[in-house]
Amino acid sequence: MVPDINTFRSHPDKLLIDHIQGVRNNSKKLTNSRIAELVAIFHDLGKMNPNFQDNFKKEKIVNGYANHAYLSAYVFFCAFACLPKNLNVLKQFLEVNDFTQNDLIALTVIIAKHHGNLPDFSPACRNNEDISSILSRNEIFELYKFLDLEINLPVFEFVNQFMHIVDFQKFLTMSKVRKCFSEEFIFNKDKNDSALDFFIDNQFVFACTIQADKADAGKIGNIIEEQLEAVQIFSNCFKTQLDSYLGKLDQNTEFNILRTTIRSHALRNINEGLNKGEHIYELTAPTGSGKTLMMLSLASEIIKEKGAKRIIYGLPFLSITEQVETVALNIFEGNEAFIQRIDSKSENKRFEKIQEELDNNPTEGRIQEANILEFQENTFAYPFVITTFVRFFETLLSNRNAELLKLPNFSKCIFLLDEIQALPPRLYSFFVAYIRKFCEKFDSYAIISTATQPNFELPYNNIEANEFFIDYKVPTPLLPIYYFDNELFNRYQIEFEKEPIDLDLLKESILLENQSVLIILNTIDDTKELYKKLLYEFEDDGLILLNTHFTPRHRKMKIYLAKRRLNQNKRVVVVSTQLIEAGVDIDFPVLYRDFATVSSIVQSAGRCNRNGKLGSLGKVKLFKLQKNGINRSSIIYQGKDKEILRFTTDSFLKNIYQEKELLNVQKDFFYRIQSELDFAKHAQSNPKLDIDFIKDIKECQYNKIGQFQLIDKHFFGEEIQYYVPRNINDFSFETLLELQRDLIFLLKESGDKSLICQKKRRVELKLKKMSGNILQLRINKNQTKPLQSEDSRYFNLYKIDLACYSFNEGVDLLGSEFII
């Protein structure tokens, strides 16, 4: 007897047929892709497995094969791989003329892996295998044994509720079909003609499926509709509030008048581009020209011309995300609920309040609201998201289920990407070309902003790159370069001392300066050593050390102290690593910079006479620090990156440059990067990978590409975190350990998922509260770890002994080299 398909459940309180329809409806809200709708129909069909259904019977113990995803995938494969009539129905449903074997494989894999991560489509052979396999052979063979026993699964009847096709049931047990599924399920990369489209489309379908599925399963399916309404509401008030804010700015200063002129020019040009159907724009403007307000104005223009859009503001450093958040909250006062900064240290006030209420009274309503807020953050479901490059670019290339939850909300979006030169140089034009393709496919727009003019052209002699990005055009420029020649942006002069110097000579040179000085060095060791050499020459807080061996809270305090002395016209000398070179609004009359790449040098120089108030040119001393006969810059720029340092040396031909002359230096530098470095190739150590993005995308190596990391942690040492207590009475770390023990107990002893989720959120909230006092140290094998005041740890987080840390000198850590 065939069971009634209307009796199957997908979840304890939901019928399978209702869940399928719910996911299908959610998919339609996220995308107009018929493929995503098709996957929604099939994704949980395997839950008809009677062993899976036994999960919902309290009196029954589940025995046998109870998985559902592979069963769903195999049913899909049998339905359309074996019968031409069914394949024609499929084409009609998808509204396509062609449906290839590669298409069949992709959708089968998406269904099979919708609770996991997208695998490589061209994997290497595993141990004891003659041929490679995209899906797990062991899982497949367990599925076959199950199907030999279960012959009455009403899979055809279920599919027929949604698509009228020919009965395919007999193929489930046919040996020839099984062999094809387990041994001949091979992706043909040579027939993957539109490789980039294929890669992005299937990744996006997978992402829409998992978001639609989780929204329906969590009984928050209406959140998708609500967040789209929120985007509409915020878009409606965006221009009014921004214009009101801009109208209140002082327009009487020469600088602000010029900034307004530049902003108006960019707005005229983006209007022309929008009328031509362009999706991606380049905003190259001098440091201090007001790029944040300019980018928000450009987003406003896109919304006015193209309708409501979500805004994702991506930045390379956490410190800048905090600054942009402050600006945005100030501009859009009264609509703060639409704005959310999302990074490792961001806080959500509403979530914190709900968590406190849950601790006292865990009602179903509060649990549901906490679920919704967590879902919003995990999916970037806010009208205005401020985040880091790491989250943005690693999501764009991800294969991981948790990361790809965000990707559907990258459609109908405006990407504001500032300081793009912070990306790995070999990937500048690759990422810009990739973003262009994504924007054109999903009705999104991008503003690529920089003050250092990277070259976004494809290498003209790279045939493969030009064929891969066949329709690529460089981003539409929004500003002419002549603004760089304006005397208001000619604020400093670089004096390049090409002969190497040591720290003692550097110290003497600094002491001869009678003004405030910012010194930016390449390694933490160098900053500490110079600080100690200068220590007895200064009183009070006239000398400040700044590097990542201080907590974020103390770094903020030190920058505040430096700015306060500058505002009081008191001399201050700051010794820092490059963490201060971007996103820190600070203005020194004199700046010393150890040799680095052109982009880093220009970014650093932007902290000198930033506001043009000196009445003369600020002084930037560029030098080559040397120790034991080795240039210190070579410690950072090792291996293949030596070429980038060589390009910089070749670009600085003269000893003296005014700011307005640096444009040609930058052009030459970025032309060398574009023409001489390997295009779209990336090497990293942890995990050890050599990614050739064009080749790997053609082969649909989702898992390999998904391991891409913007920051190669192993190269600069393994990262270990330390909590620095505020004082001896700070027991936050001990509270965290107690929460961890409670969570472990719940995981072992309780099956109550809501309690477990609630405790996990408590842990996450505690970590964010502690984040201002958490250090991230990169420790190499030959370096000594600091003392710990607590034997226990929370994963990779330890509590440091206060004897090893001070506000003035940071972590007392013996060893060799540290950077940043």
Segment 130-173, tens digit of pLDDT: 567 899 999 999 999 999 988 788 999 999 989 999 999 999 99
Residue type at position 169: Q
Mean pLDDT of 556-581: 94
pLDDT digits (tens, 9 = 90+) for 714-726: 555 567 889 999 9
CATH class of 490-679: alpha beta
Residue 808, φ and ψ in degrees, nearest 5: -80, -40
| SS3 state of residue 421 | helix
Look at residue 635 and give its three-state secondary structure.
helix
Which amino acid appears at position 588 of this protein? F
Question: What would the two tokens of residue 764 be?
Answer: 């996450």
Beta bridge partners of 388: 315
Provide the token pair at 110. 């998406």
Rounded Cα distance between 16 and 45, Å, is: 8
CATH 3.40.50.300 intervals, the chain? 232-343+384-477, 490-679
Ordered alpha helix ranges (H), 592-724: 598-605, 633-636, 642-651, 662-676, 693-698, 702-706
Place of tokens 């600070």: 586
Q: Which amino acid belongs to residue 312?
A: I
Residue 815 scores a pLDDT above 50:
no
Q: What is the architecture of the domain spanning 5-217?
A: Orthogonal Bundle (1.10)
Residue bearing tokens 């998985």: 67
Q: Would you say the C-alpha torsion 165, 167, 173, 177 has a positive or negative sign? A: negative
Residues 6+ apart with CB under 8 A from 112: 69, 70, 72, 73, 135
Asked if residue 616 lies in contact with residue 563, where contact means CB atoms within 8 angstroms, the answer is no
* pLDDT score, position 817: 43
pLDDT digits (tens, 9 = 90+) for 609-665: 988 889 899 999 999 999 999 999 988 887 777 889 999 999 999 999 999 999 899
Q: Report whether the peptide linkage leading into residue 687 is cis, meaning its omega lies within 30 degrees of zero.
A: yes
Q: What is the 3-state composition of the chain as percent helix, strand, coil, each rounded to the nearest 5?
A: 55, 15, 35
Residue 818, pLDDT > 50, answer: no
276, with CB counted inside 10 A (0-12, 13-18, 19+), is exposed
Contact 399, 705 (CB under 8 A): yes
Contact indicator for 204, 33 with CB cutoff of 8 Å: yes
CATH superfamily assigned to domain 232-343+384-477: P-loop containing nucleotide triphosphate hydrolases (3.40.50.300)
**Torsion over CA: 57, 59, 61, 64 (sign):** negative
Q: Specify the pairing of strand 413-417 against strand 310-315.
A: parallel
Separation CA 108–CA 101 (nearest Å) = 11
> Is residue 399 exposed (0-12), middle (13-18) or buried (19+ Cβ within 10 Å)?
buried
* Crossing angle (nearest 10°) for helices 34-42 and 69-81: 120
pLDDT, one tens digit per residue, over 24-42 is 999 999 999 999 999 999 9
| ∠ CA 614-657-456, rounded to 5° | 110
The per-residue pLDDT for 820 is 44
- CB count within 10 Å of CB 459 equals 19
User: Could you tell me if residue 477 is left (phi over 0), alpha (psi between -120 and 50 degrees) or otherwise beta?
Assistant: beta
pLDDT, the chain, mean: 90
For 210-223, the three-class secondary structure string (H helix, E strand, C coil) is HHHHHHHHCCCCHH
pTM equals 0.91
Contact 783, 491 (CB under 8 A): no
Residues 11-22 have a mean pLDDT of 93
- Give me the pLDDT at residue 408, please: 97
Cite the residue boundaries of each domain of the chain with CATH code 1.10.3210: 5-217
Q: Which residues contact 798 (CB under 8 A, 6 or more apart)?
A: 720, 721, 722, 723, 788, 790
Select the more confidently predicted residue: 694 or 371.
694
Q: Kindly report which listed range (172-176, 214-218, 267-271, 410-414) carries the lowest average pLDDT score.
A: 214-218
507 vs 521: CA distance, rounded Å: 13
> Which has more confidence, 199 or 352?
199
- On whether the CB atoms of residues 421 and 741 are closer than 8 A, the answer is no
pLDDT tens digits along 460-495: 899 999 999 999 999 999 999 999 999 999 999 999
**By percentage, how much of the chain surpasses pLDDT 70?**
92
pLDDT class for 2, splitting at 50, 70, 90? low
